[in-house]
Structure 1
Amino acid sequence: MSLLSWLKNWKVLNELWNVLEPFIINLAEKNVPKYIRKLYENLAKVAQPALDSLKKLKEKIKTSPNALDDYCFNQGVNAIETFANYLLTVVADLRK
């Protein structure tokens, strides 16, 4: 393939992309939010039971404090904090 024919094909492909790009972006703008919402739902399914348990344990500690419940509560909060910090580092790496 000669350089001239290659450049001609490149020009055609570039023009084709310029025509198709707005449609592809429009399609992505319509569909991506559904997948992001599904991601939020999946994260909530995993995290919410742990958060609910910790809230119940916190209320129990207020009414009848004991060392074991306090220890379990602190371990649970630390685990969630550690995971949240991990997610923040992953997000920072993804944004680089």
Structure 2
Amino acid sequence: MNELEMAIARRLRGRRLRLGLSLSTLANACGVTFQQVQKYETGQSAISATRLWALSRVLEVDIGYFFEGFGGPRAQPLGDGRADGERVASDGLPARARPEVT
């Protein structure tokens, strides 16, 4: 596991403990076994984006909580939900999300 994955694992465990949740309680709320949550917390298993999102909802934190301190400055959302500086084409999709036409 890399440094980011280990930091996520530590934050997961720390937040669970601060809320007083057992491994089983968190696991049941997310639809996994307590053994799987234990593997997430010890860094034995990587956490998918979908699972991390579910964990963040149960732990009552924004998903960004797990990434604090990593990467560059955070993008600020605009009133229409786009990240600051993100261009939108006439079809309403961000330029980076449109399939390229050849």
TM-score by length of 1: 0.27
The answer to which structure has the higher helix fraction is 1
Normalising by structure 2, what TM-score? 0.26
| Higher relative contact order, structure no. (Cα contacts within 8 Å, ≥ 6 residues apart) | 2
